[in-house]
Chains A and B, each alone.
Chain A
Amino acid sequence: MDFSRLKFATAALPAGVPARRCAVDGMGLLTSCRVAWEQGAHLVGLWGSDDRDRGRGFTIDVVVRDADGLVMFEHTLPDVDSTYPDLSIVFPAANRMQRATFDLLGIAADSDDQRPWVWQASWPIDCYPLRRDFEALAKWQPGQEEYAFVRVEGDGVHEIPVGPVHAGIIEPGHFRFQVVGEKVLRLEERLSFVHKGIEKRFEGMSAATGHRLAGRVSGDSTVAYAWAYSQALEAIAETTPSPRASWLRALALERERIANHLGDLGYLGNDGGFAFGLSQFSRLKEQVLRSNLELFGHRLAMDYVVPGGVTQDLPAGSRVGVADECSMLEREIRVLRDIYDEHDGLQDRFRLCGIVAPELAAKLGLTGLAGRASGQPHDVRCDFPAPPYGTLGVKIASASGGDVAARVAMRFDEIAESLRLVRAIVDGLPDGEFTVDVPPPKAFRKGLGYVEGWRGPVLVGLECGPEGTVRRCHPHDPSVANWPVLEHAVIGNIVPDFPLINKSFNLSYSGQDL
């Protein structure tokens, strides 16, 4: 990004990808975001921190991604009554992030939308969990909130509430549909049902074990989160993992991508009435998970990625088994892709369903897999390749149809690329240690981790405290930006297509809610 228009100095920021930081005042924050937007940057995350104990009021951190890497704008609010500019006029995705920041810290953006996002009448209204003087273990009775959903008035308009408990085996959230007959006029989401207080839980934790909590923000992306957390800590501690460790981490990440895509392809077939697809893909996914148990000691590779590297080396003689498995998967998936592509009934469901046009995707900051299916070709493995991706080279998958069919095609393409990468990793795995020591991090240093999880880029913002503790950790899921786009994708579609459209995005509730 061209910083010459901004009058603020930038400095390097420790991170897993190229990153810079920039301290800005209120108007500077809005101007910087505008300049960033004009130069093609996108909002990645926004969060706040209570720094009154260090005499620095409250800090707002805004991270954007441009062609060169990440930029973190840091803005200080002197006291609880100060406000900061509404960034959602530049980056619409900032709306919920700002509302969440208010619920957790009590500092507000200068915005018309002051509805709660995290708070659901679950703690007293003037208590803010992420303030350092908040009693973390205090218990309040859960209440019931009255959330101001936007209603649509008119002849024949009905309102359908769905959730939080959903019909299938999926995470909880509330969807409020406004419909005429079967056609959806409007969808509004109310999330935060699985808010577990993760950011508060991080405070005071030993930074050396923070990857365990990071890896449980969204269990299906445990490798991506643990890696992003480890990147942030390693950057702060100025430690570089060994080459072998990086390659093994990538092996776990690509297998996580493959497993999730296989599961999704099965469920997408099922949601289109094609149970054969679910049966076939879930069979293949089970084989991948069983191999993961042998390779990583855990079917989901949870707790495999740790600061400094990974917990165990690849079992001797794995290379042949992994290569054979890749060949088997490639063969089977080729057959299944043909069957899916030739199945008229299924394609009739997939095509032109739940469309997000590229222009809308760009405006709203649709990211990750869903973004790539709507003409937003960004992938951290390609844009800012950290080891080993620079050596391996990753071919980016992209489409511009933005419908369910495009998001299905993304998954097929990405599985093929990931299988190629898995083979290349076991073939070219460098010798050496699988982990290195990470010295205790210095207090009050900040760092970022940024890893392309299977849904999209996972960001972890970490600030260390004294004695090797975590002072503040903000794990940021790509779903935060993508959830609002789903509300647009369903407009004009019929209600029975909602499960299919929702599944084609397959966004994280737990990652959104923290």
Chain B
Amino acid sequence: MLQILRQIARTGIVTENPPAPAHDRVVSARLQERIVRTLGRALTIRHVDAGSCNGCELEIHALANPYYNIEGLGIKFVASPRHADLLLVTGPVSKHMAIALQRTYDATPDPKLVVAVGECGCSGGIFGESYASLGAVRNVIPVDVEIPGCPPTPTALLEGILAAISAAKPAIAGNAGNNANDDSSAAPEA
């Protein structure tokens, strides 16, 4: 036990400041100012690998390391889409993952955001569209933010995720409180 405490004390805090959100990455107008008001800066993310080579996953893992410390920003990854505010989707969408991705999207309650990760998520990447690959994530489900890169660095990922939650729409009238009975919870069409 002492050895563990000693190591923790020696390591200290290495967390760096988060980057500014990249507003030029916002692609759709589905974002709601209400998300920011309701959620503040906290967010739960469900990651879905729809066909990636696993490179993007490595950089997403890095977000949880002490340098980027995504949990320190109030953002955490969850196991169930039913608990998620944002879907972080990697890879070109392989044919064999299309149904699973659609079901995950449908199981995510509104209001929700979708961020497509990497060259493959944005455009199908080197795999493109074929008998086995449906290409970009936006070909299968609506996407709010796209983060290019092969793979995108953890900094680029954070910029994209923060862009998704901080971009604002003209205010929607409605309570910031109780969501369950709220009529204005349906996302307005873009």
Interface residues of A (CB under 8 A from B): 120, 122-123, 129, 134-140, 142, 144, 164-165, 167-172, 192-198, 200-201, 212-213, 216-220, 222, 263, 276, 278-280, 282-283, 285-286, 289, 299-300, 302, 335-336, 338-339, 342, 508-510, 513
Residues of B within 8 A of A513 (CB): 94
Alpha-carbon gap, A280 to B14, bound state (A): 11
Cβ of B130 under 8 Å from chain A: yes
Given contacts A129-B132, A137-B129, A200-B131, are A280 and B52 in contact (CB under 8 A)? no
Residues of A within 8 A of B56 (CB): 219
Residues of B within 8 A of A335 (CB): 3, 7
A163 CB, min distance to chain B CBs, angstroms: 8
Nearest 7 pairs of A and B residues by beta carbon = A219-B55, A197-B132, A282-B65, A167-B79, A219-B53, A122-B95, A219-B54
Alpha-carbon gap, A48 to B85, bound state (A): 45
Residues of A within 8 A of B79 (CB): 167-168
Q: Nearest CB to that of A287 among chain B residues?
A: B67
Q: Nearest CB to that of B69 among chain A residues?
A: A279
Contact of B126 among A123, A165, A212, A222 (CB under 8 A): A212
Residues of B within 8 A of A134 (CB): 131
Contact B64 A282 (CB under 8 A): yes
Given contacts A194-B49, A222-B55, are A338 and B3 in contact (CB under 8 A)? yes
Cβ of B190 under 8 Å from chain A: no
Q: Nearest CB to that of A279 among chain B residues?
A: B66
* Sample of 18 more A-B contacts, CB < 8 Å, known A195-B94, A282-B61: A142-B95, A169-B47, A169-B49, A172-B49, A193-B97, A194-B52, A196-B51, A196-B130, A200-B132, A216-B126, A263-B58, A263-B61, A280-B11, A282-B64, A283-B65, A302-B55, A302-B150, A335-B7
Contact A510 B7 (CB under 8 A): no
Cβ of B98 under 8 Å from chain A: yes
Given contacts A129-B131, A299-B153, are A169 and B61 in contact (CB under 8 A)? yes
Q: Nearest CB to that of B88 among chain A residues?
A: A169
B105 CB, min distance to chain A CBs, angstroms: 11
Alpha-carbon gap, A325 to B93, bound state (A): 39
A330 CB, min distance to chain B CBs, angstroms: 15
Cβ of B62 under 8 Å from chain A: yes
Alpha-carbon gap, A99 to B96, bound state (A): 17
Residues of B within 8 A of A509 (CB): 54
Contact B55 A194 (CB under 8 A): no
Cβ of B172 under 8 Å from chain A: no
Contact of B130 among A142, A193, A197, A278 (CB under 8 A): A197
B170 CB, min distance to chain A CBs, angstroms: 34
Contact of B53 among A170, A172, A216, A278 (CB under 8 A): A216
Q: What are 27 contact pairs spanning A and B, CB under 8 A?
A: A123-B131, A134-B131, A135-B131, A142-B95, A144-B99, A164-B100, A168-B77, A172-B50, A193-B51, A194-B94, A194-B96, A195-B94, A196-B127, A197-B131, A198-B127, A200-B130, A201-B128, A212-B126, A216-B53, A219-B58, A283-B66, A283-B67, A286-B66, A302-B150, A335-B3, A342-B3, A510-B52
Residues of A within 8 A of B66 (CB): 279, 282-283, 286
Contact B57 A122 (CB under 8 A): no
Q: Nearest CB to that of A509 among chain B residues?
A: B54
B4 CB, min distance to chain A CBs, angstroms: 6
